[in-house]
Amino acid sequence: MAYSDKVLDHYENPRNVGVLDKDDPNVGTGMVGAPACGDVMRLQIQVSEDGIIEDAKFKTYGCGSAIASSSLVTEMVKGKTLEEVGEIRNKHIADELALPPVKIHCSVLAEDAIAAAIADIKAKRSKKEDAKALAS
């Protein structure tokens, strides 16, 4: 199977590989996929108090397109607000990487990873709000 230059570039030089502390209240973690399906993505975002993504890290088990999709996503989300990032759709990722039809599911998984990471940080923050409300 021939990969696009962009997939190869992200695959050869993946951006933002790593781990953030999942227990940090400012870190949202999204893990999607399943080993049995051949893809697992873990996307982590570090979000400032005013909702801006300051850092993003990923680790992915999967094919070259899955690795490239998650690497690209870490670049796309940095510096954006949670609302802006929530607008990213798998089509943006697939188009940017010129994914072939059999690999579209990789971009879908990347979109799911973003949603899961956002949901995680929002859940953490609403718990914090609840705790504050209880304390006051």
Partner 1 sequence: MSSINVPIYMDYSATTPVDERVAARMAECLTRQGHFGNPASRSHPFGWHADELVEQARDQVANLIGANSKEIVWTSGATESDNLAIKGAAHFNVKKGKHIVTLKTEHKAVLDTCRQLEREGFEVTYLDPLSNGLLDMEAFKAALRDDTTVVSIMHVNNEIGVIQDIAAIGEVCRERGIVFHVDAAQSPGKVAIDVNAMKVDLMSLCAHKVYGPKGVGALFVRRKPRVRIEAQMHGGGHERGMRSGTLPTHQIVGMGEAFRIAQEEMDSENKRMKMLRDRLWNGIADMEEIYLNGDLEQRIPGNLNVSFNFVEGESLIMSMKDIAVSSGSACTSASLEPSYVLRAIGRNDELAHSSIRFTIGRFTTEEEVDFTIEKTRQAVEKLRELSPLWDMHKEGIDLDSVVWAAH
User: Considering 37, 98, 102, 131, which one is annotated as catalytic?
Assistant: 37
Build a one-symbol-per-residue string for 70-109: x at contacts with partner 1 by CB under 8 A, - elsewhere. --------------------------------x--x--xx
Least distance in angstroms from the C-beta of 35 to partner 1: 4
Q: Does 1 bind partner 1 (CB under 8 A)?
A: yes
Catalytic, 63? Answer no
Task: Give the whole-angstrom CA distance, residue 123 versus residue 135.
Answer: 18
User: Considering 27, 93, 106, 121, which one is annotated as catalytic?
Assistant: 106
Contact partners, residue 110, CB within 8 Å, separation at least 6: 41, 43, 66, 69, 70, 72, 73, 90, 93
Least distance in angstroms from the C-beta of 12 to partner 1: 8
Compute how many residues bind partner 1; rule: CB under 8 A.
31
Per-residue b or e along 10-30, where b marks 16 or more CB atoms closer than 10 Å to that residue's CB: bbeebbbeeebeeeeebbbbb
Least distance in angstroms from the C-beta of 113 to partner 1: 10
Among positions 4, 20, 78, 112, the unique one binding partner 1 when judged by CB under 8 A: 112
Catalytic, 37? Answer yes
Task: Give the whole-angstrom CA distance, residue 42 versus residue 30.
Answer: 6
Tokens of 33: 């996929």
- 32 to 71, contacts with partner 1 by CB under 8 A? 32-42, 59-64, 66-67
